[in-house]
Structure 1
Amino acid sequence: MRKNNIKNIITYITFLLIALFTFTACSKKENKNAPTIGISWSTDEVDKNSKDKVDVDTQMYADALRKAGAKVIFLKEMKSIDEAKKEIKDVDGVVVTGGDDLNPNLYNENPIEKLEEINPRRDSSDVFLLKALLEEDKPTLATCRGMQLTNVLSGGSLYQDIITQRPTDIIHRDPEKKVFVKHEIDVLPNNILSDGLGKSGKLEVNSWHHQAIKDLGKNLDILAKADDGTIEAIVKTDKSYFLGLQFHPEAMIIEDNNKDALNLYKAFITKSQELSQQK
């Protein structure tokens, strides 16, 4: 009886190992064919707990993209448009991440007192990257700072500080800068944002910004606003897929397990692959 039990245990373990091997092999095969999404370069300090050896915010973008079914490539610092074009050549789409304040010189303004830390290396790299993405018509999801820079490169401008330049009752950033705050936005119907989310109308999003679009740039349409009129999403109307978001769907996916945000990432990844295959 005891020998039979041992034999049954060995058989069961063997079966589990075979099943695990088969599942792993299939998973690797699926991952190999997954769309490839690049993540913009950041100068932020690497987080010691990051499995990808990147900063904590970039890790969240990577985790969200993988959860939505993409392979991830971390793009390098861009020092010219030609270099940026080569870097994005083999990716299906690009996520441009959030970060520091933009230098107001980029939109011909002088800094105000409430302007916070700027990052000249990041500004330069992101300008080259976004110009390359626009010229190559590469599918792009530009988040927070990325959306703001898209507006600037399209001839628009920013509020350097919402509280002092455009007072509002809506809190767009935690005064303690510790957690995301939440507020509602109104998503317009029949566009790439509402299609990706699978819904339009009122939607609760997270928020972590003290700057926002002031004058809207050329070839941009507004897709969503907060109740105080703050622009929360834009689309580049002369490109195949170029979406800008003031909120952070990557954090909604990882921290809140938000299905709407995950649907949006999945739609972006799918569309990126479709457009890439058409070229």
Structure 2
Amino acid sequence: MKHPVIGITTFIGKNNQEVPKNFIDVISEEEGIPMLLPEIENEELIREQVMNIDALLLTGGDDVDPALYGEDPHQSLANVEPDRDKYELKLIDYALERGIPILGICRGSHMLNVHGGGTVYQDIYKQIDADLIKHQRHDKQEHFTHKVNIQEGTKMREIVGEAEIFTISNHHQAVNKVADNFKVAARTNDGIVEAIESKEPGFLIGLQWHPEDRYHTDDASKNIINKFVEAARV
């Protein structure tokens, strides 16, 4: 059996470029080879990074720079990493060029949407005039945050096999205008977009929630990671 190499994006920590260990663990448990992708500037080397992986996992982190989708910063915008944004946009360019599977989680979903020409709510609580449910957790427990409704006829419904699932979610931003190459695959009961997927065949999915956090105890979360790694074996 082929052991696909899964490139995992990193973010700037206090002293290093790092990534939550959960991402590494769930990929390796699916018998994928996790490869951390440090942020670099040389475009030729970025292309070589992508040439040496079988799938791309875009992880969470700081807010996406609103300048990328033509907006001024809202007063509730949190930290941004413009250099990381630039790097990940190039990763997406080359991954799409190769046609390898891409999974974006939380910020990663926003990057996929912005890359395709979509926009992001800089702060859902300040920019949406509605009675929203709680989307941000303030604890480290691995319990579910809220329910998500999976749209019928989507790849996500095929993967999880259910119309409703409970998820772990922790965000103050969300997809706003959906990019033309994507469609909405899931929403919460308050209407927030929780998943987008490509309109074309293949594995190109952005999730607002964190399946890596419930991989060991939740079938839907495990199925998502499993199908992503399986797609990389082809």
Any conservation in 2 of the 1:78–1:124 contact (CA below 8 Å)?
A: no
Any conservation in 1 of the 2:7–2:34 contact (CA below 8 Å)?
A: yes
Any conservation in 2 of the 1:185–1:225 contact (CA below 8 Å)?
A: yes
Q: Deviations for 1:171-229, whole angstroms, at most 9, x for unmatched residues?
A: 0002x4655761001112343222222x1211101111000111111111111111111
Distance 2:203 2:41 in 1: 25
Shift of 1:45: 3.8
Higher mean alpha-carbon deviation, 116-125 vs 217-226, is at 116-125
Shift of 1:71: 1.2
Q: Deviations for 1:27-77, whole angstroms, at most 9, x for unmatched residues?
A: xxx7xx422211013222469xxxxxx73x431111111122211111121
Between Structure 1 and Structure 2, whose CA radius of gyration is higher?
1
Q: Any stretches of 5+ residues in structure 1 without a counterpart?
A: 1-29, 48-53, 275-279
Q: Runs ≥4 in structure 1, deviation > 6 angstroms?
A: none
- CA RMSD across the alignment: 2.0
> How many corresponding residue pairs?
232
Given the alignment, which residue of 95, 99, 108 partners 2:61?
99
Distance 1:268 1:98 in 2: 17
Identify if the C-alpha distance between structure 1 residues 162 and 94 changes in structure 2 by more than 3 Å, giving closer, same or farther. same
**Which structure shows the bigger proportion of residues in helix conformation?**
1
**Partner residue in 2 for 1:17:** none
Identify if the C-alpha distance between structure 1 residues 156 and 200 changes in structure 2 by more than 3 Å, giving closer, same or farther. same
SS at match of 2:94: helix
Any conservation in 2 of the 1:78–1:129 contact (CA below 8 Å)?
A: no
SS at match of 2:168: strand
Distance 1:45 1:131 in 2: 28
Any conservation in 1 of the 2:156–2:185 contact (CA below 8 Å)?
A: yes
Question: Match of 2:3, as an amino acid?
Answer: A
Shift of 1:240: 2.3
TM-score, normalisation: structure 1:
0.77
Question: Match of 1:193, as an amino acid?
Answer: M
Any conservation in 2 of the 1:40–1:74 contact (CA below 8 Å)?
A: yes
Distance 1:75 1:177 in 2: 28
**Partner residue in 2 for 1:215:** 177
**Partner residue in 1 for 2:189:** 227
Q: Deviations for 1:219-267, whole angstroms, at most 9, x for unmatched residues?
A: 111111111111111112236221110101111215xx22221111111
**Partner residue in 1 for 2:91:** 129
Given the alignment, which residue of 144, 148, 159 partners 1:185?
148
Question: Match of 1:225, as an amino acid?
Answer: R
SS at match of 2:214: helix
1:205 counterpart = 2:167: yes
Over the matched positions of the two proteins, sequence identity in percent amounts to 27
**Partner residue in 1 for 2:107:** 145
**Partner residue in 2 for 1:40:** 9
SS at match of 2:215: helix
**Partner residue in 2 for 1:154:** 116
Distance 1:231 1:64 in 2: 25
Shift of 1:152: 0.9
